[in-house]
């Protein structure tokens, strides 16, 4: 499934200035760059001589970065600790132009951090600092209050669920009920443990491993792909399911319609970090700009093809998306 260059450009031109909420697990992605020229005498592991360090917003914050890169206005809501990681994340978000009013502080947990050591454009190891306990009721109430205050402006809501405790069972149901009542397009980047609870959403974007695990059937060919896709669609009563398939592209399922298969457009794949964030952000931005679900799939597939060609957590921009269509 493709869209014409002319129609694709029209959709991209229309993207911009729509407010889209992003709710979920905030992270700080830390990168330590270096070179390897020997193996440690202490253990069979490479010794990385560090040459640089950088940090970037990750998780739900990366989704918001993609929304902003496309020209829309993200309302980012998530939970951080009262620590240095939160201060860095706050500064990075403000520097990018993303409002930090949705940062909710919890003194009982650290800010989720993922530290990646990269040598010669290859990830050597990753170290995580996190707490996965459910956030308290007070912060769930604050999340809903922020949404209620902006409901008239919202053109979409993205749930970025990494299983770190922000998307609790009760908050998820409140978010879905809110969007159904306000007729707001709601999309979910899922975590497998919460899969049965994503009912009646507008869109859910699992990769083929997550989809197969959630349905209980491994996807090995197009027949099993269809069984899983239509089975999840019926089980969740969802409007649509977009299964991302890596080098095989994407598959869009809608009730009562034939599956729409879209081949990948990626020429080279250096790093898939954050690719799922780009997919869901560009899809919802395209829908907010007037695209059909089929057209939004083509747009998000194009966007994913751009970011996987870069090393590290990357975001799509409107200019890069235009160039890829050209």
**pLDDT grade, residue 91 (50/70/90)?**
very high
CATH code at 74? 3.40.1190.20
Residue 143 in any domain: the answer is: yes
Residue 128 a catalytic site member:
no
Which residue has tokens 């830390």? 30
Residue 15 in any domain: the answer is: yes
Residue 291 in any domain: the answer is: yes
Which residue has tokens 């007070």? 138
* pLDDT tens column, 139-172: 999 999 999 999 999 999 999 999 999 999 999 9
Residue 274 has pLDDT above 80, yes or no: no
Structure pTM? 0.91
Is residue 195 within 8 Å of 228, Cβ to Cβ?
Answer: no
Residue 53 in any domain: the answer is: no
Residue 44 in any domain: the answer is: no
The mean pLDDT of 183-192, rounded to a whole number, is 93
Identify which of 273, 326, 325, 298 has the alpha carbon closest to the alpha carbon of residue 66.
273
CA distances from 110 to 83, 133, 165, 316 (A): 7, 11, 12, 28
Number of domains in the chain: 1
Is residue 265 within 8 Å of 305, Cβ to Cβ?
Answer: yes
**pLDDT grade, residue 8 (50/70/90)?**
confident
H or E element in which residue 86 lies: helix 84-96
Residue 317 in any domain: the answer is: yes
Angle between helices 275-288 and 293-307 (to 10 degrees): 140
* pLDDT tens column, 27-67: 999 999 999 999 999 999 999 999 999 999 999 999 999 99
Backbone angles phi, psi at 204, to 5 degrees: -135, 140
What's the pLDDT at 100? 87
The mean pLDDT of 283-302, rounded to a whole number, is 94
The mean pLDDT of 183-204, rounded to a whole number, is 93
What's the pLDDT at 270? 43
Reported residue count of the chain is 326
What's the pLDDT at 266? 56
Residue 89 in any domain: the answer is: yes
Give percent above pLDDT 70 in the chain: 95
Give percent above pLDDT 90 in the chain: 76
Q: What domain range includes position 17?
A: 5-28+58-325
Is residue 312 within 8 Å of 123, Cβ to Cβ?
Answer: no
Structure tokens at 229: 């896709």
Residue 162 in any domain: the answer is: yes
Structure tokens at 203: 């869109």
Active-site position among 72, 161, 271, 277: 277
What's the pLDDT at 272? 52
Residue 76 region by backbone torsions, left for phi larger than 0, else alpha for psi between -120 and 50, else beta? beta
Which residues, other chains included, contact 167 with Cβ-Cβ below 8 Å and sequence gap of 6+? 23, 24, 25, 159, 161, 191, 194
77 SS3 class? strand
Identify which of 288, 315, 260, 101 has the alpha carbon closest to the alpha carbon of residue 187.
288
């Amino acid at each position: 499934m493709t869209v014409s260059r002319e129609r694709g450009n029209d959709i991209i031109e229309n993207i911009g200035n729509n407010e889209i909420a992003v709710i979920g697990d905030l992270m700080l992605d830390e990168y330590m760059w270096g070179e390897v020229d020997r193996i440690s005498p202490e253990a069979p592991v490479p010794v990385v001589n560090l040459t640089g360090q950088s940090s970037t917003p990750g998780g739900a914050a990366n989704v918001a970065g993609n929304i902003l890169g496309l020209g829309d206005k993200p309302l980012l809501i998530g939970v951080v600790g009262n620590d240095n990681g939160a201060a860095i994340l706050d500064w990075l978000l403000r520097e990018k132009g993303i409002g930090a009013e949705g940062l909710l502080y919890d003194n009982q947990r650290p800010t989720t951090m993922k530290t990646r050591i990269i040598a010669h454009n290859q990830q050597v190891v990753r170290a995580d600092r996190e707490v996965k306990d459910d956030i308290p009721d007070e912060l769930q109430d604050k999340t809903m209050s922020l949404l209620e205050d902006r409901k008239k402006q919202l053109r979409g809501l993205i749930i970025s669920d990494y299983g770190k405790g922000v998307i609790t069972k009760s908050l998820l149901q409140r978010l879905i009920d809110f969007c159904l009542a306000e007729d707001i397009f709601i999309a979910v980047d899922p975590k497998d443990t919460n899969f049965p609870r994503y009912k009646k959403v507008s869109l859910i974007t699992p990769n083929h491993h997550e989809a197969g695990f959630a349905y209980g059937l491994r996807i090995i060919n197009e027949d099993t792909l269809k069984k899983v896709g239509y089975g999840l669609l019926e089980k969740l009563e969802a409007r649509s399911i977009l299964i991302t398939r890596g080098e095989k592209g994407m598959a869009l399922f809608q009730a009562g319609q034939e599956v729409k298969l879209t081949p990948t457009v990626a020429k080279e794949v250096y790093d898939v970090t954050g690719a799922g964030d780009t997919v869901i952000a560009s899809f919802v931005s395209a829908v907010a700009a007037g695209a059909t679900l089929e057209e939004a799939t083509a747009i998000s597939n194009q966007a994913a093809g751009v970011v996987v060609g870069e090393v590290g957590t990357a975001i799509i921009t409107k200019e890069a998306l235009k160039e890829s269509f050209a």
